[in-house]
């Protein structure tokens, strides 16, 4: 079991530091299936979860939403018939925080 999925995601403020590339590389080994993408210069964590049907997609979407609300850290989700794409990043620091890896691991654990 990934240690990250058991970690606690603490709210980060605008002064929190973005992860360094070496730190990201290290954490990537703990979030299988996730990739780092870059949008408008902001690195983000992305994974596409394939599902059997729309009901499963909506079930997963609602589970991720409940997790997000419980911690007050919210991803972008793209809901389609047989997939849910999830993207995590820290809006306040315009980059990746360890929190995002924790949330990615928790998201994978829901799947």
> What gap in Å lies between CA 46 and CA 75, rounded to an integer?
10
| Separation in Å, CA 27 to CA 48, 54, 80, 83 | 19, 31, 28, 25
Q: Which of 11, 37, 48, 76 binds a copy of itself (CB under 8 A)?
A: 76
Is 8 a binding residue for a copy of itself by CB under 8 A? The answer is no
Q: Which two tokens stand for residue 19?
A: 């992860």
Per CB under 8 A, the segment of 1-9, 17-25, 33-41, 72-80 that binds a copy of itself is 72-80
**Distance separating alpha carbons of residues 93 and 102, to the nearest angstrom:** 16
Give the integer Cα–Cα distance in Å for 73 and 20: 21
Tell me the number of residues near a copy of itself by CB under 8 A. Answer: 15
Kindly state the smallest distance separating residue 80's Cβ from a copy of itself, in Å: 5
Residues 39-68 that bind a copy of itself (CB under 8 A): 54-55, 58, 61-62, 65, 68
Binding residues (CB under 8 A) for a copy of itself: these are 54-55, 58, 61-62, 65, 68-69, 74, 76-81
């Amino acid at each position: 079991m990934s240690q990250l999925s058991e970690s606690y995601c603490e709210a980060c403020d605008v002064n929190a530091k973005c992860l360094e590339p070496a730190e990201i590389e290290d954490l990537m080994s703990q979030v299988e299936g996730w990739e780092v993408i870059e949008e408008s210069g902001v690195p983000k964590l992305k994974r596409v979860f394939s599902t059997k049907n729309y009901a499963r997609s909506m079930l997963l979407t609602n589970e991720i939403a409940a997790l997000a609300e419980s911690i007050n850290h919210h991803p972008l989700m793209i809901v389609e018939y047989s997939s849910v794409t999830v993207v995590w990043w820290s809006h306040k620091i315009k980059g990746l925080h360890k929190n995002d890896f924790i949330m990615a691991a928790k998201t994978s654990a829901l799947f």
